[in-house]
Amino acid sequence: MSRNHLKTSTCVLCAVIFSVTAGCGGSGPSMIRPSSSATSIAGSSSTGSSSTGSSSGTAAPSISGTPSTKAQVGLPYAFTPTVQNSSGQSLSFSIQNRPAWASFSSTNGTLSGTPTASDVGTDSNILISVSNSQKSAALPSFAIAVAAAPNCTSHSSAAPSGTPASLVFGFPSGFAGAQSSFTIGPDAASFSGSTIEVTNGAVGQHEAGAAWYNTKVNIQSFTTDFTFRITPGGYGMTFVIQNDPRGTSAHADANGIGYFTYTYNNPDNAIADSIGIAFNGTPNGSNYTVEANPSLTGLYIDGGQFIDNGISPVLDLTPQGIDLQSGDVMDAHITYDGATLTMVLTDTSTGAQARFSWPVDIPAIVGGDTAYVGFGAGTIPAVAQTINSWSWWQGIDPTLPAPTFCAAAGSYTSPQTVAISGPVGAALYYTTDGKPPTTASTPYTSPITVSSTDYVQAVAVEPGYTDSPVAGADYSIGSSGTPPVDFPNGFTNAANLFSTVGTATIDGPDIELTDSDSAEVSEVGAAWYVVPVNIQNFSASFTMQFARASGYGMAFVIQNQNAPGTDTSSTQVSGGPYDLGLPIGGLGYQNTLASVAVKFDSTTSPGNTTGLYTDGAPPTDTSPQEPITGITLNSGDPINVTLTYNGTTLSMSMKDTVTGGTYSTSWPIDIPATVGGDTAYIGFTGSTNWNQDTIYKLSALTFQN
């Protein structure tokens, strides 16, 4: 037996409690030397019963367990097999090809040790066996690859160089004396002291207003900061970049917060050739709302989305602590690097922050490298909604490189201590709660311990530079064979790994997609696993329950944040872990683009149906669907669902856990091509209508490749 060793370069060791994944250390030429453990080690152990001696009928012991195949320099490794001994005889354990850096217990079969730098390489054909006086059993042979210690020097990379952004216009203290720089209208917008009132609350209901900087600006790459306030009761406003033929007279109606329109019957009133970031605070109690007080954002194209069946589908700000109906002044910091539009939104009173990024080609959509920039707003009640300050820079400051993690992302059998590295001089901020980090998140000062399954995200921030991209590392703490998504007994400890939006909540062991506390308003909710998973082939099992069911239904959804093009049918950027797919009748899924959904529809007509839907298609009577036989969704019984995908066909089986009724079906589909990638977000959506006291529950979920 021989062993390959890799001579490694010097590394700085980060403090890791236990790691079985290769880090970021370097490697050099290999060398070969014989192992010091070519012989077996054996011993005996009493199981607590006296030996019965030998007999031809003695049962063989059994041995099981899955040893980790990875170890790391400086970190302890241990594996103990599980043994069953029905004979009661004494047992002896032995090993062949023991690694030189490890010891072996002949008493219980434990292989343990801490490799050093000279042990980097792979030990092969390790064989652990157990025997009584007559018979023996062995584990399958295995190998252990020893990785070099990772280099975890914090703030190790250099800050980038480049040309800073140049100021085009700036009104950081308000707009007093700036009237000549703006065109405002139609009848609801006005200057008021140092603010621009995009709706002024003085001209009656159904106010729509707009304010545009008079001169077109270059929009190939830019930075902008503005502050705004939505008075409680106001519907909201939109930041807009546009080349609408109407120019600085462009606006939309009150229901569409000055950017999109209320109905398909008047699409000409929407702002064409544009992109808009909406701040939608449509208040509770209006005709176009959901039960949870909405606080929503989203990126829209060419004046869409129309809102015939409820407020426009968007991304929920509530999980990140932003309430647009609070009356607080909000600060938006937006950068565009030519490919990605990023916004950090801050409540200036509470300090809460939310970060969103959208892939978008702005010049292609608006039809030019220059465009008008400004704001549209609308509200049904007579409510003032103001822009308080605004500045615009051409270009962006040099962008900081993304942080790096050590230990590496992956599955571990023990807790990890994770170090985060970033550029020299930058402050690092991190989260473990599934939310993108901002300067309101926890500052990174020393390695952190990850003791449960978590998604760690980090960002680098420094004055004079553009924030780094957000980096993330997913750590699964448990057995080495744990699936990436593994909640077979409920979601009690899953809050950090699921984003619940709209009315959805984690209630004890269950995810409730619709709120059980209110039955007088429409409800839409969704729950997304915050880490994208591989969807090239998979098996997903979950348990759902239509408790007190009288609503529309729910769906299992696979989705990505789509990158919009110039296709006018794609009037929004949807997807991601904060997606809320309104309208109400769309099972919380409709208008979620770049997606695949299996619906479970409990509406009275046609009722009790399933079907496969793509790109947010409405699950209506005219859509492809099929009746579910043998199972009644509205029975209130827990129903187990298993979905398997082999790369070409998605198969589903269902079982009522009370009656034993079953149903199965399958659909041909290329899921990666449909969602635009080999990884995607997975989750569940659901909705109910007015006066429907409905609870849609999830009590278990396992997803594995």
Q: Tell me the per-residue pLDDT of 441-470, one tens digit each, with 9 for 90 and over.
A: 999 998 898 888 889 999 999 999 999 999
Average pLDDT of the residues in 517-535:
82
Among residues 456, 477, 498, the one where a domain terminates is 477
Domain span including residue 493: 485-704
Q: How far apart are CA 7 and CA 30, in angstroms?
A: 6
Q: What is the CA radius of gyration of the chain?
A: 30
| Residue 164 tokens, joined | 């800073």
Residue 163 has pLDDT above 60, yes or no: yes
Q: Are residues 541 and 684 in the same domain?
A: yes
Asked if residues 524 and 584 have their Cβ atoms less than 8 Å apart, the reply is yes
CA angle (685 as vertex; 495, 540 as ends), nearest 5? 75
In a domain, 555, yes or no: yes
pLDDT at residue 323 in the model: 93
Q: Are residues 618 and 695 in the same domain?
A: yes
Residue 645 has pLDDT above 60, yes or no: yes
In a domain, 279, yes or no: yes
Torsion angle, alpha carbons of 630, 631, 635, 637, to 10: 120
**CATH number of residue 552's parent domain:** 2.60.120.200
Asked if residues 275 and 289 have their Cβ atoms less than 8 Å apart, the reply is no
Using DSSP's 3-state secondary structure scheme, residue 673 falls into helix
Average pLDDT of the residues in 393-418:
88
Q: Are residues 470 and 505 in the same domain?
A: no
Q: Are residues 173 and 273 in the same domain?
A: yes
Among residues 394, 429, 447, the one where a domain terminates is 394
Asked if residues 110 and 102 have their Cβ atoms less than 8 Å apart, the reply is no
Q: Are residues 516 and 388 in the same domain?
A: no
pLDDT at residue 288 in the model: 47
Torsion 211-214-220-221 (CA) sign: negative
**CATH number of residue 441's parent domain:** 2.60.40
Q: Are residues 543 and 582 in the same domain?
A: yes
- pLDDT (tens digit per residue) in 307-336: 544 456 578 898 889 999 999 999 999 999
In a domain, 399, yes or no: no
pLDDT at residue 34 in the model: 37
Confidence of residue 569 (pLDDT cuts 50, 70, 90): low
Residue 681 has pLDDT above 50, yes or no: yes
pLDDT at residue 43 in the model: 40
Among residues 367, 394, 421, the one where a domain terminates is 394
Task: Give the position of tokens 């962006």.
Answer: 396
Confidence of residue 284 (pLDDT cuts 50, 70, 90): low
In a domain, 548, yes or no: yes
- % of the chain residues with pLDDT over 70: 82
Please indicate whether residue 665 or residue 27 has the higher confidence score (pLDDT). 665
In a domain, 581, yes or no: yes
Q: Are residues 129 and 239 in the same domain?
A: no
Residue 197 has pLDDT above 50, yes or no: yes
Ramachandran sector of residue 421 (left: φ over 0; alpha: ψ -120 to 50; beta: rest): beta
Q: Are residues 464 and 341 in the same domain?
A: no
Q: Are residues 460 and 545 in the same domain?
A: no
Residue 486 has pLDDT above 80, yes or no: yes
pLDDT at residue 311 in the model: 56
Q: Are residues 236 and 287 in the same domain?
A: yes
* Tally: H helices and E strands in the chain: 2, 55
Q: Are residues 284 and 418 in the same domain?
A: no
Q: Are residues 63 and 81 in the same domain?
A: yes
| Residue 451 tokens, joined | 């003791």
Average pLDDT of the residues in 520-546:
90
Confidence of residue 75 (pLDDT cuts 50, 70, 90): confident
Average pLDDT over the chain, rounded to whole? 83
Residue 571 has pLDDT above 90, yes or no: no
Identify the burial level of 76 via C-beta atoms within 10 angstroms of its C-beta, where 0-12 means exposed, 13-18 middle and 19 or more buried. Answer: middle
Confidence of residue 689 (pLDDT cuts 50, 70, 90): confident
SS3 annotation, 280-339: ECCCCCCCCCCCCCCCEEEEEECCCCCCCCCCCCEEECHHHCCCHHHCCCEEEEEEECCC
Average pLDDT of the residues in 388-416:
90
List the single range of 20-34, 102-116, 227-241, 263-277 with lowest mean pLDDT. 20-34
Domain count, the chain: 4
In a domain, 155, yes or no: no
pLDDT at residue 143 in the model: 94
pLDDT at residue 6 in the model: 32
In a domain, 681, yes or no: yes
In a domain, 158, yes or no: no
Residue 218 has pLDDT above 70, yes or no: yes
Please indicate whether residue 126 or residue 90 has the higher confidence score (pLDDT). 126
Average pLDDT of the residues in 473-488:
78
